[in-house]
Amino acid sequence: MRVSRLMLATLRDTPADAEIASHQLLARGGFIRRVSSGIYAYMPLMWRVLSKVINIVQKEMDEAGALQTLLPQLHPAELWEKSGRWKGYTAGEGIMFHLKDRQNRELGLGPTHEEVATSIIGEQIRSYKQLPINIYQIQTKFRDEIRPRFGLMRSREFIMKDAYSFHASEYDLQDTYYKMDKAYTNIFISCGIKTVKVDADSGSIGGAASQEFMVTADTGEDLILKSPDGNYAANIEKAISKASPPLTLKKQETIEVSTIDQKSIETLCKEQDIDSSQIVKVIVMVAILEEGKDQPLLISIRGDQEVNEVKLFNEITNELNCKILKLSFIKEEQLINQGLAPFPFGFIGPDFSDSALKNAKTWQNKFLRIIDLTAADLQNFVCGANIENKHRFHVNWSINKYPSKTIDIRKAKAGDLCIHDESQVLEECRGIEVGHIFQLGRKYSTSLKASFTNEEGIEESFWMGCYGIGISRLAQAAVEQNHDEKGIIWPISIAPFEVMISIANIQDPIQAALGEKIYKQLIPQGIEALIDDRNERAGVKFKDADLIGIPWRIVVGRDAPSGKIELIERAKAFNEVLDAKAAIKKLIEEISNQKTF
C-alpha cells in the first residue's frame, strides 16, 4: 500500500473534544473521524486494525466451538417486554435508541442481544441432545449514552463481539464459561495487550457470576482493587474486603449530648473528639419501584465507611423481589410531596421510628432496614438521637427493636485487607473494560419461555451464558496502553501495517528506486508494507510515521547510493544502519519472531 493512495490526513493539533491520549492519537493519526457526538467513521488505517482484531477473535471463537451468525439490529419491543427490560432501557435515562414503524409498532436498536438470541434458540432447539450451543456475532451495537466521551471508549455506535451459550445443566454452563475465559485470555494476549481479570457485577445483564477483562490505564473509567500477589482482583462495584478495625470507644452509661450544627461526620468528630469508626451513621433512601408503592430504606453503616450502591441495589432487588428503577437519597422536597414532616437529617439513629412514614402518599409505611457488617460489629458506638441537634453516646444495638437485615453493603477501598489472605493489603488501579463474561442462569430463558426436553422427557428452561468483547474499544485500549510522546506504538499483531518504508526525498531517483525495490521484495515475503511515496519533507514523513505507530520503519535516505538504509523498531526506539539486503533479512526474521510470540 502507498501512502499517496491511503487517504491519510494527520493532524498537528489535538481536537478539542479529545480528552485522553488514545483518543487524541487516533484522531491526529487519521484513524477515526468524528461525525457527531459519540459517532465515528473508521478510516482505512483503523479498519485494518479492527479487521485484525476481528480475525483474532474469530479464530479463538471458532476453536472454542462457537458458531458465527448475524442477528438483527432492530428488535421488536415485545421481546424486551417479556424479559422485563424494555422500560428500563427506553424510559428516562435508558440507553436504547427506540422508534416506531409505519404500523406504529415499537422497535429498538440493539444495545445487546440476549432477548433475540434466546427467542431464536427457544424456537429451534427442542432436545437436550442438541445442546450445548454457543452462537456469536460481530456487528455494530447502539447505546444512547448520556455523555459520550473518550472517542471509541464510550461511543453511541460501536463494534462488538457478543456470544450466547445454551445448556441443559448448570454444570455444562460452567464448563463453557471456563472455555470462554481461556479463549478471552488468548485473544488479549494475541492482540498484544495486558489485561487483568476481575470479579464484576452483572449489572442490567443479570446472572449469577461474571468476570471483566480490564486493560490497566490511568485514564480508565473503572476502579479496580487488587492484591499485590495478583490472586485477587475485582471491580470496585463487586469488591469485598476486610475493613480496618475501629477505634475502641470506652464503655460508659448511655448519654444524650447536644451537638448543635454537627450534622456531618467530620464536624461531629472534630467537636466531640471522637473517631469516625466509632459512629454508626444512618442514611435514608428510597427505592423507586416499577410498580406499586416505593420502598423507603434506612441504611446503617460505620461512620468511616461508604455505601456501595451497586451492592445495595442488588440486595434490595433480591429482598423485594420486584423491579427497581433506581435508588435515591430522600430529600426535604420529597418529604413535602409525600405529606410528611421533616426528618432530623444528620441526627437520625438506626432506631428511627416507622411512624415517621405513616402519612406517606406513595411510599410504604415501614422502612426496609439494612445494617452493614461494619456497623453490626460495633459493641459500643455513637449515633443520632432522632432529635435535631442531639446524638447519643455509648449506645449498643439493643436500642433497635425493628427487624433488620445485616449484610455487606460497604464500598471496599485501597488499604483494606484481602479476604482471601489478610497479609495482603488491597491496592487500587484504574482499568478499561474490554471484555465481560456472564453466567446468566435461567433469567432470560424463563421469562421468554425458551425450553427444551430433558433426558426424562420433562420441559425445562435453558441454562445460559453470554460473552462480550468491545472490538472497537479494544483497539483504542491498545493505544492507551501502547504510546509515547511521539505517537502510537501498535502491537505488531494488530498494527495496520508491519513496516513503513519512508523515502526521505521521493524526487531523488536513487532513493526512490531503492525504496521501490525494497517494497517489492517485502510484499512476496508476506510482509505488510506501507511505502511513503509522498512529495513531502522528510521531517513530515518521519513525524507521521511515529504518530501512526507502524512497528518497523525503513528509512531510505542519504546512504541510498551505497545501498544502505536505516532500520528502526518503533517500540524500542532501536535504529541500525545496514545494507539493504541484510536489513530485509533481519526485518523478516524479527517480524516472524514477534508474530510467533
Give the pLDDT confidence of 68-126 residue by residue, as tens digits: 999 999 999 999 999 989 988 998 778 999 999 999 999 999 999 999 999 999 999 99
Is-contact 523 531, C-beta < 8 A?
Answer: no
pLDDT confidence of 534, banded at 50, 70, 90?
Answer: very high
pLDDT at 595 over 80: no
State the pLDDT at residue 397: 95
Mean pLDDT of the chain: 93
CB within 8 Å of 126: residues ≥ 6 apart: 452, 453
- Identify the burial level of 431 via C-beta atoms within 10 angstroms of its C-beta, where 0-12 means exposed, 13-18 middle and 19 or more buried: buried
Rounded Cα gap, residues 129 and 227, in angstroms: 43
- A 10 A CB-CB count for 406 gives 15
- Give yes or no for a cis peptide into 132 (omega within 30° of 0): yes
Q: Report pLDDT for 297.
A: 96
Across residues 391-417, what is the average pLDDT? 94
Residue 207 pLDDT: 54
466-241-325 Cα angle (round to 5): 50
pTM as predicted: 0.85
Sort 437 into a burial class: Cβ within 10 Å, 0-12 / 13-18 / 19+.
buried
SS3 state of residue 581? helix
For residue 205, pLDDT over 70 is answered with: no
User: Using an 8 Å Cβ cutoff, are 320 and 295 in contact?
Assistant: yes
* 95 residue type, one letter: I
- Cell numbers at 353, concatenated: 421510628
Which pLDDT belongs to residue 596?
60
Please report the sign of the dihedral spanned by the C-alpha atoms of residue 16, residue 18, residue 21, residue 23. Answer: negative
pLDDT of 226-261, one tens digit each?
Answer: 999 888 999 888 889 999 999 999 889 999 999 999
For residue 438, the surrounding DSSP H or E stretch is: strand 427-441
* Cβ within 8 Å of residue 517, ≥6 positions away: 580
Q: pLDDT confidence of 512, banded at 50, 70, 90?
A: very high
Segment 177-183 mean pLDDT: 95
Q: Which amino acid is at 237?
A: E
Domains observed in the chain: 46-71+112-240+428-479 (3.30.930.10), 255-407 (3.90.960.10), 499-596 (3.40.50.800)
What's the average model confidence in pLDDT over 375-403?
95
Tally of CB atoms within 10 A around 585:
12
Cell numbers describing residue 198: 476481575
What is residue 220's predicted lDDT score, i.e. its pLDDT? 84
